[in-house]
Amino acid sequence: MRILIIGGSHAGISAAKYLKSLIPTSEVILIEQTNVLGFIPSSINFVFDQVFSIDNLDKGEVITSEQLQSMGITVLLKTRATELRPAKQEVVIQNSGTLSESCLSYDILILAMGSSKLAIAELGVGTSLSRVLSYKNPYETKQAYEKLSSAQNITIIGAGLIGLELATSLAKDPTKKITIVEQMGRPLFRYFDPDMTKILLSAIPPRVNFRLGETFSGLKLTGDQKVVTTCGDSSFPTDAAVLALNPRPTIDLIPTSIELEFDSTVKVNKHMQTTDPNIYAIGDLVKVPFGSMVEKAYLPLISIAKKTALAAARHISGSSNRGITESQRTIGTFLFGLYMGSTGITSEESVLLNIETQAFTKKISYFSQVNYQDRFSLTLKIIYDAKKHTILGTQLVTSHRETLELITIFAQAISDKKCLEDLLDLENYYAPQLSPNSNFIAETILEALKN
């Protein structure tokens, strides 16, 4: 069986590896238009954090072509798929160096073209968007780094995970002033309720200034000065502006015979199969089931890209008919000295979804005397069904890296439809040199149940 995969990033690479492992006899060909495989999109943060230099951006790639080839996967770099011919089961490809074109036939085709920049029209900012920096690939990253490293007043558009992670890295340079423009009333609104974002806001230095409730509308030049404008005619000067918003699915290649959803994601079934049964779509091209209340949501995350790749590979190989399981939109991050995690729905979302929930938040400030953690803090918020106690969401903010891992336990508990009482039975190891003195989950739940 010959399987073609278009797109050599997180989804495409994962699909290639899973397929080769599940069907060793298959011919797996990975087609990537650039010479980069699986670039970590936030690599610019690692450059500002001095983890690697801007000249070593290959450290931001998760795998090499040689490693994939040693697994038996054929990798075609600098090769762009220019046309899909579903009726003939073939793809036209073009070498970006020689511009020579050829055709590749397939038994199964996997679309993993991911997402790219927002269309200008989506921001309604006219041509001035071309001055705004972005950094999803190495080329953009180099350009953005050059501008941002010499800029003192930097504007970040978007106070989601992407924008705040960049702000965390940039703010380490005390000469930089950062303004974050966000159309919602607070940062990270998708993942955290206001009481939790409040903890983050108190940790952010005054050099980072938020313009909340303002929508970016453009970046214009007044003489030599760049000026950011927001809807409602507000404006302020800046040295550089960087876009920190989720891009949109790359669908220019997709023929009309393959159905799209209303939001331009590719329509797929639970196996990631498109309306053409020989063609699958994965990663940032598709929506996935989110929790048990929301049928499907667009969750452009690397963990989700890998999950969709596995679902497709298992179906293609015939090893499972299970299909993709619900995602809980689990995230973990490190912002301004705080580890933050979220899974499932927020209290705010539960209102929108018309679910009667309760929430309980516990603050813990002690870890252990043997494994002493200076100024340890954990704020753990659990959101659960008011009647059945089924856990629906969890958010945590902590000073301690290992404690962030609690979020994975909650993500699994939500997927397994566990209730508060079930989690009291959770078995933990206890090693005094590693463990906290108390069981944070059990203590929080016992108090929640008293409420």
Ligand X SMILES: Cc1cc2nc3c(=O)[nH]c(=O)nc-3n(C[C@H](O)[C@H](O)[C@H](O)COP(=O)(O)OP(=O)(O)OC[C@H]3O[C@@H](n4cnc5c(N)ncnc54)[C@H](O)[C@@H]3O)c2cc1C
Stretch that binds ligand X, among 25-33, 167-175, 354-362, 365-373 (CB under 6 A): 25-33
Q: Which CB sits closer to ligand X, 46 or 440?
A: 46
Are 93 and 82 contacting, i.e. CB atoms less than 8 angstroms apart? yes
CA distances to 242, 270, 282 from 411, in Å: 32, 20, 22
Binding mask 119-158 for ligand X (x = CB under 6 A): ----------------xx----------------------
CB of 346 to ligand X, least distance (A): 18
CA distances to 159, 197, 398 from 191, in Å: 12, 9, 15
Q: Which CB sits closer to ligand X, 299 or 441?
A: 299
Strands (DSSP E) contained in 158-202 are: 177-182
CB of 153 to ligand X, least distance (A): 21
What residues contact residue 215 under an 8 Å CB cut-off, 6+ apart?
Answer: 181, 183, 230, 231, 232
Stretch that binds ligand X, among 107-115, 118-126, 377-385, 417-425 (CB under 6 A): 107-115
Binding of ligand X at residue 159 (CB under 6 A)?
A: no
Burial 365-397 (b: 16+ CB within 10 A, else e): eebeeebebeebbbbbbbbbbeeebbbbbbbbb
Using CB under 6 A, which of 4, 23, 68, 81 touches ligand X? 81
Binding mask 5-24 for ligand X (x = CB under 6 A): -xxxxxxx------------
Of the candidates 28, 9, 283, 240, the residue with the CA atom closest to the CA atom of residue 134: 240
CA distances to 200, 341, 417, 420 from 381, in Å: 14, 10, 17, 12
Q: Using CB under 6 A, which residues numbered 225 to 254 contact ligand X?
A: 247, 250, 253
Q: Which CB sits closer to ligand X, 300 or 393?
A: 300
Q: Using CB under 6 A, which residues numbered 346 to 365 contact ligand X?
A: none
Are 274 and 111 contacting, i.e. CB atoms less than 8 angstroms apart? yes
Q: Using CB under 6 A, which residues numbered 392 to 451 contact ligand X?
A: none
Binding mask 278-297 for ligand X (x = CB under 6 A): -----xx-------------
Q: Which CB sits closer to ligand X, 79 or 357?
A: 79
CB of 10 to ligand X, least distance (A): 4
What residues contact residue 302 under an 8 Å CB cut-off, 6+ apart?
Answer: 10
**3-class state of residue 258 by DSSP:** coil
Which residues of this chain interact with ligand X, rule CB under 6 A? Answer: 6-12, 31-34, 41-42, 80-81, 112-115, 135-136, 162, 247, 250, 253, 283-284, 300-303, 305
